[in-house]
């Protein structure tokens, strides 16, 4: 029995040993895999960090020039006459061929910026013998660049690559064929209409000191003053600075529509009705633009640009304004400058408010700031709905607002006139029509002002 037991135990012990060896081997394999993974991750991370620290190799440059030294540029698009631009002594670019025109300085500088440092995407051939396969035997675009010491470089652009996105390119006298990115081609592929100055008025908006608008037999003259604009003609009036700025902006930003016209702009202009004529006077003299309307289209001519052009309808709408469109409709001028004193009278009722620092006071009592600000907003937003010639008599309401450290005092009287009110500013003959709710709104805001710390 004992021998049998011993004999049966040996296989168990042997199997146990095999299992333990296999388990140890498995653990060793797992450890090895983990260590290998850590080593791979470490090396991979190191490589990524090294790549991140090392700048990418620069693309080969087809052209490398000093942009400031470029003095002449000729662009010839396939099937068109060469377009030549020259830089004068002041650094201003002008088109000299096929006709003399002012150039769009930003557009020209965009082309020059691309040409001065033109990178290649790839070098296709170092010594090309068959240019036809690249479209370079009859280039789509040829650009001749004159730089320092009258040195010339000529860039040729051919077909787009079969996969798209790139264009074949080479330099005259250089046997290599490159590819350039399509966006660089688009920056260079410019014609006359792309590079000419399309402004109808070339004066700078902030340098304009006077505006003369003639519309439907009425002439309006504006003069720039310290704080905005003043109407001089037909009589001195307060001007809406934003409205006048809008007129000036529309005229100075007007552009020629150089798309292929379905009709001759000159013929359309000749038979069109006059909308308005605007003369702007600035530091470079005066320039006049005349706008006309034919059916739904607007056309313009300018003393600063030869020819007649179709223009955007927004220009015609901007100049087609009456005197009242440019008048200041605000009853008070204190705007967003905080007033120091407010005095109101409505029949037997009176209110006095004085600001000291950031606090408002009335009759020796500190007032609730929010409720006073609500009254200030009512006065600030008091706006005319029209400009009547008559209707002001027996004023029942008076408001006096002092601002600018006591230097600016505005006194306004308001009288009932039919179903509305009419206001008059002291020292001005002009009248302002107000809504019927004006007096109740102002008195309600004044009554709502309470001492500080008490509920409204």
pLDDT along the chain (456 residues), means of 10: 42 45 54 52 41 48 94 95 95 95 95 96 94 96 92 95 93 95 96 95 96 95 94 96 97 93 90 97 96 95 93 96 97 87 96 95 95 96 96 96 94 96 96 96 96 72
Handedness of CA 28, 29, 33, 36 (dihedral sign): positive
Q: Give the pLDDT of residue 59.
A: 73
CA 226 to CA 136: how far, in whole Å?
Answer: 60
Q: How far is CA 205 from CA 201, 250, 256, 333, in A?
A: 10, 10, 18, 24
Q: Give the pLDDT of residue 133.
A: 95
166 burial (CB, 10 Å; 0-12 / 13-18 / 19+) is buried
Q: Give the pLDDT of residue 274.
A: 96
Domain 61-195 has CATH 2.60.40: yes
CA atoms within 13 A on the CB side of 379: 32
Q: Give the pLDDT of residue 15.
A: 47
- Residue pair 167/225 in contact (Cβ under 8 Å)? The answer is no
Q: Give the pLDDT of residue 7.
A: 41
- pTM of the entire structure? 0.77
Q: Give the pLDDT of residue 58.
A: 57
CA 121 to CA 60: how far, in whole Å?
Answer: 8
- The domain spans of the chain are 1-56, 61-195, 207-326, 341-447
């Amino acid at each position: 029995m004992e021998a049998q037991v011993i004999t049966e135990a040996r296989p168990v012990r042997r199997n146990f040993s095999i299992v333990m060896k296999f388990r140890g081997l498995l653990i060793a394999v797992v450890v090895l895999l983990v260590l290998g993974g850590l080593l791979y991750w470490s090396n991979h991370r190191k490589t990524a960090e090294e790549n991140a620290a090392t700048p990418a190799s620069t693309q080969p440059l087809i052209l490398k020039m000093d942009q400031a030294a470029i003095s002449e540029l000729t662009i010839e698009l396939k099937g068109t006459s060469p377009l030549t631009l020259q830089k004068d002594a002041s650094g201003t670019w002008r088109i000299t061929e096929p006709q003399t025109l002012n150039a769009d300085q930003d557009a020209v500088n965009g082309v020059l910026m691309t040409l001065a440092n033109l990178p290649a995407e790839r070098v296709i051939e170092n010594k090309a013998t068959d240019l036809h396969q690249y479209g370079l035997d009859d280039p789509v675009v040829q650009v001749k660049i004159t730089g320092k010491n009258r040195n010339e470089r000529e860039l040729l652009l051919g077909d787009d690559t079969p996969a798209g996105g790139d264009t074949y390119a080479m330099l005259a006298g250089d046997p290599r064929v490159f590819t350039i990115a399509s966006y660089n081609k688009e920056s260079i592929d410019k014609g006359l209409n792309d590079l000419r100055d399309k402004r109808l008025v070339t004066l700078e908006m902030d340098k304009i000191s006077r505006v003369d608008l003639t519309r439907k037999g009425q002439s309006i003259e504006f003069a720039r003053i310290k704080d905005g604009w003043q109407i001089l003609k037909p009589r001195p009036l307060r001007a809406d600075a934003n409205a006048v700025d809008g007129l000036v902006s529309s005229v100075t930003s007007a552009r020629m529509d150089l798309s292929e016209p379905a009709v001759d702009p000159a013929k359309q202009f000749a038979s069109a009705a006059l909308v308005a004529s605007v003369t702007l006077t600035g530091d470079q003299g005066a320039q006049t633009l005349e706008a006309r309307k034919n059916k739904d289209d607007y056309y313009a001519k300018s003393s600063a640009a030869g020819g007649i052009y179709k223009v955007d309808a927004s220009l015609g709408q901007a100049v087609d304004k009456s005197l009242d469109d440019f008048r200041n409709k605000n009853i008070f001028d204190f705007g967003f400058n905080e007033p120091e004193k407010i005095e109101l009278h409505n029949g037997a009722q009176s209110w006095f408010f004085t600001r000291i620092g950031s606090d408002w006071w009335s009759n020796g009592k500190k007032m609730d700031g929010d409720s006073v600000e609500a009254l200030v907003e009512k006065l600030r937003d008091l706006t005319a709905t029209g400009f009547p010639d008559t209707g002001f008599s027996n004023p029942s309401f008076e408001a006096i607002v002092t601002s600018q450290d006591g230097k600016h005092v505005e006194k306004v009287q308001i009288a009932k006139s039919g179903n509305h009110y009419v206001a008059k500013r002291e020292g001005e003959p002009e009248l302002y029509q107000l809504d019927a709710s004006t007096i109740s709104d102002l008195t309600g805001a004044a009554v709502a002002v309470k001492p500080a710390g008490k509920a409204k």
